[in-house]
Amino acid sequence: MEFVEPVERQELRKAVADLARSYGHEYYAEKARGGGHTTELWDEAGRLGYLGVSVPEEYGGGGAGIGDLAAVCEEFCAAGTPMLLMVVSPAICATVIARYGTDEQKKQWLPGFANGSVRMAFGITEPDAGSNSHRITTTARRDGSDWILSGRKVFISGVDEADAVLIVGRTEDAKTGRLKPALYIVPTDTPGFEYKQIPMDLVSADKQFGLFLDDVRLPAEALVGSEDAAIAQLFAGLNPERIMGASFSVGIARYALAKGVAYAKERSVFGVPIGSHQGLAHPLAQVKIELELAKLMTQKAAALYDSGDDFGAGEAANMAKYAGAEVAIRAVDQAVQVHGGNGLATEYGLGTLLGAVRVGRIAPVSREMVLNFVAQHSLGLPKSY
């Protein structure tokens, strides 16, 4: 059992951190406040191979696992340049296509994931389904060899940057008449596919959208893998999503903690650095402990997933996502408190994170649903929903 990352991943972390710091939080904040995107950083990271570390080598990727991709995501966030699309495009979409896509789908999409030239969003959440994915109503029906897809999605990240969206829909089982989930690749320029930005009280370079699919006609090859394997395909993407969400939160917590510690060392009141006072030192130390615990669980979840243990990874990924979100909220709040009024001043780069880290308790799965999972599957308690 190893608790130290291999040298290759440590070197990957350093290289990614160096790139991210060369852009810095000011770059990110300027893009976010101006309604722009981190296109330059994304494209450079793609050219250097950082976005494609987990894509199979035969398609131009690094051939590594989700643990390495999570490390890349964490380092971008720790440098103050979080890119939410990393949680979606290379983690969910590329993973699902690599594991379940046809040979043609792999050849078409994976090289673009490997070099960052392809961006793909993921559409599962619906206005009336919420956390209950069994109530998804986006439906696909056959029309000859084509599929006709209709429905709505909400809170879908990065659609305006995406070449396509991996849509979770439902088809009718010919044997039982029941609806069963299926995944479709829908290019964003497909007739009948429309999207509208959702106004959010968040300062983020990644925007949220509502999707409208009005009898969208798709060719047979838009279906990912087999109709009958959709549940397995879906969870093949959701476990990486939770692992990446955890690494996203851990990275932001690292960023906030570093800012808080640096300020506590340099700011003097009553003739001594404010970090010498236990009222500030102890909360920062507590954040450090909780951060390391969350990071360790994230690494465990990634190791389980990369070993092929999907069920074990599911438990650990949910716990990691929960722990990461909690420590990110605590880290940002405490860093702002250490800074006093300066914590809300633009130049210190913390105030905009107060709302951003709160999202981690809601998405990609709510705090309450994680607790439901642990209660039922880890503790064996009766199902509560």
Comma-separated ranges of CATH 2.40.110.10 domains in the chain: 122-227
The CATH number of the structural domain formed by 231-378 is: 1.20.140.10
Q: What is the dihedral of CA 167, 373, 3, 17, to 10 degrees?
A: 40
Comma-separated ranges of CATH 1.20.140.10 domains in the chain: 231-378
Comma-separated ranges of CATH 1.10.540.10 domains in the chain: 7-119
Does the pLDDT value for residue 176 go beyond 70? no
Residue indicated by tokens 């009766």:
382
Q: What is the mean pLDDT of residues 53-82?
A: 98
Q: Which fold has domain 122-227?
A: Butyryl-CoA Dehydrogenase, subunit A; domain 2 (2.40.110)
pLDDT bucket at 98, cuts 50 / 70 / 90: very high
What would the pLDDT profile of 21-50 be if each residue is shown by its tens digit? 999 999 999 999 999 999 999 999 999 999
How many CB atoms are closer than 10 A to CB 279? 8
- Nearest CA to 80 out of 121, 31, 126 is that of 31
Chain centroid, CA 138 distance in Å: 23
CA distances from 262 to 258, 259, 274 (A): 6, 5, 11
- Nearest CA to 261 out of 314, 338, 184, 198 is that of 338
- Nearest CA to 295 out of 257, 339, 336 is that of 257
pLDDT bucket at 251, cuts 50 / 70 / 90: very high
Cβ burial, residue 64 (10 Å; 0-12/13-18/19+):
buried
pLDDT bucket at 229, cuts 50 / 70 / 90: low
Residue type, 217: R
- Nearest CA to 316 out of 368, 254, 240, 206 is that of 240
Domain 7-119 has CATH 2.60.120.960: no
364 cis-preceded (ω within 30 degrees of 0):
yes
Distance from C-alpha of 129 to C-alpha of 137, rounded to nearest angstrom: 8
